[in-house]
Amino acid sequence: MGSPKALLVLDDAPLLTHVARAVAPHCEEIVLSVGTTEVAPPEHVEALRDAIVRAGVPAPRIARDALPHRGPVGGLAAGLAVARGAWAFVCGCDSPLLRTELVAGLFDHTRSEIDVVLPVVDGRAEPLLALYRTAAMAPHFARQLAAGGGSPLDRIDAVRVCRLDGATLDALDPTGASFVNVNEPRDVERARRLR
């Protein structure tokens, strides 16, 4: 991308600011999972923290990856290890069109007999825009990280999953904009058109 993705500007605010605004009404705390100091030096983390605070959201707790280059599993393990709530909504900084209704709707599907509320869009599971039971999934991802990492979906059948798709997701986000990711500069313009 040429610059930190979370700080790319869409409609006069960094991508991370848009995400924080969508998540904050439904979460007691925000945990910002960042890489190791090699990947995310302190000044970068401070800029991320500022982007959240400028959104009018309380300062996030910071979780650093324990191991370098472990991808999403490293971030999930770090974030869930410090999360205080019974459930943790997880999403990337690159989902600036995230609808607050989707976040609320995922929480509406929590049950004592499940560990993950997992959206499935067009047949593809979305583990980085999902809801995780902290007590079950923090050790789950810690074990996966210790075994080498991989995809968050690699061992998902070892836990209890509620998959949401079709009409259920359409009711929460009719346009599907929540699942639009900004992965390259041209995606910023696409996101702007969809806002």
The model's pTM: 0.94
In total, how many domains does the chain have?
1
Output the tens digit of pLDDT for each of the chain's 195 residues.
Answer: 456 789 988 998 999 999 999 999 999 999 999 999 998 999 999 999 999 998 899 999 999 998 888 999 999 999 999 999 999 999 999 999 999 999 999 999 999 999 999 999 999 999 999 999 999 999 999 999 999 989 999 999 999 999 999 999 999 999 999 999 998 778 877 788 777
| CATH at 152 | 3.90.550.10
Q: What domain range includes position 47?
A: 5-194
Note whether 34 and 64 are within 8 A (CB): yes
